[in-house]
Amino acid sequence: MYEKIESYEAEMVACRKDLHRHPELAFEEERTSDVVAQKLASWGIEVHRGLAKTGVVGCLKVGNSKASIGVRADMDALPILEANTFEHRSTREGVMHACGHDGHTTMLLCAAKYLAETQQFDGTVIFIFQPAEENLGGGKVMVEQGLFEQFPVDAVYGMHNWPGMDVGKFGMRDGVAMAAFDSFEITVTGVGAHAAKPEAGVDAIVVGSQIVSALQSIVARNIAPLDNAVISVTQFHGGDAWNVLPETVTLRGCARSLVSEVQAQIESAMERVIAGVCQAYGARHALDYHHGYPVTVNSVRETDVARSVTAELVGEKNVDPQIPPTMGSEDFGFMLQERPGSYIVLGNGDSHGLHNPHYEFNDAALTLGAKYWAHLVETQLRV
């Protein structure tokens, strides 16, 4: 099935490696957007640019049906110093494709080429190449700037590679699939002092350390055990000298939850805990809490469509229809708040994990991902 897509493999690998060599951060995907737009246009696909600054949307209409489908890939890289030494490693210091968006973009481009050449469907395909998935919510920006008003779709689909899952396998689940994601910054202000005379000050480092521990009580004692959540302090900054107790420390991190109601209650619980600890030690605080990505919720019908399509490609035994939800987050959730759809995963084999400086997208998965997009479109927009 889809031998034509297999014939593109060398071209796909070259494209993926080129994108890997030239990673770009959120809302800075100028070169990547140019590559995507030029390729789509060369295949006769109508190209639109400018949504979310560097976003690219391709529109391909065949036949007379009013049915439409949206298929999305993300384009941005991460601020990580690549540790790989292969020839196509990043040429940009401190920036790399450590999440496989180079592969995601390539797979959707390959499917677009195939669909433009064969045109074995009746309806409209909207190819969504989204910037800034990592932390900055490019999906939300595209929606807010009128993505689905300008390009109406009946349903929208996304896909991510999955390290640890064999190449040739797919996974999905209906309902809650990925967690909500919020970020926070806590500033603790004490009274600076000489390290030899701690009694003369209020030690902001001690107070901050107590806050790190106390925040864990929110998940352990304020949230129902079956309502998954996690609060992680990932940064702790304070002090510049060996013998000085700093007056101020800054803590940063993120909170994740699989229940929307829990996402809403974490901020107030954090404020209460932080205020209590600071009051006990005589320090002051400020909490800057940013509500980020929503829970990613797959609709039942569209997830069943994805299951059926993947099973036809690789067989039922290679499709897990109810993989466990993950505490990872995705701004594709914003698109799913506007349209029904499903976000699935495909195996990346025994690779390093996502966001790891040694990570590499597995090129053996490229043609299979492209086949999924093509088969999904041809199934949903059947002639």
**CATH number assigned to the domain comprising residue 252:** 3.30.70.360
pLDDT above 90 (res 263):
no
**Residues 32/22, Cβ–Cβ less than 8 Å:** yes
Same domain, 145 and 173: yes
pLDDT tier, 225 (very low <50, low <70, confident <90, very high otherwise): confident
Where in the sequence is the domain holding 26, given as residue range(s)? 3-177+295-380
Same domain, 255 and 345: no
Same domain, 167 and 20: yes
Q: In the predicted model, what is the mean pLDDT of the chain?
A: 97
pLDDT above 90 (res 295):
yes
pLDDT tens digits, one per residue of 177-193: 999 999 999 999 999 99
pLDDT above 80 (res 1):
no
pLDDT tens digits, one per residue of 236-259: 999 999 999 999 999 999 999 999
**What pLDDT sits at residue 267?**
94
Same domain, 157 and 210: no
Same domain, 10 and 155: yes
CA distances (Å), origin 273, targets 84, 143, 181, 186, 290: 42, 35, 20, 12, 17
Same domain, 222 and 152: no
pLDDT tens digits, one per residue of 111-149: 999 999 999 999 999 999 999 999 899 999 999 999 999
pLDDT tens digits, one per residue of 58-89: 999 999 999 999 999 999 999 999 999 999 99
Same domain, 244 and 201: yes
**What pLDDT sits at residue 226?**
85
**What pLDDT sits at residue 327?**
93
Which neighbouring-strand residues pair with 194? 244
CA distances (Å), origin 108, targets 16, 72, 214, 237, 269: 11, 8, 45, 41, 42
**What pLDDT sits at residue 224?**
87
The number of distinct structural domains making up the chain is 2
**What pLDDT sits at residue 383?**
81
Choose among 351, 343, 350: nearest CA to 372: 343
**CATH number assigned to the domain comprising residue 326:** 3.40.630.10
Which neighbouring-strand residues pair with 244? 194
* Averaged pLDDT, 340-346: 98
| Exposure letters 110-119 (e unless 16+ CB within 10 A, then b) | bbbbbbbeee
**Domain final residue pick, 293, 323, 340:** 293
Same domain, 285 and 309: no
pLDDT tier, 201 (very low <50, low <70, confident <90, very high otherwise): very high
pLDDT tier, 285 (very low <50, low <70, confident <90, very high otherwise): very high
Same domain, 214 and 235: yes
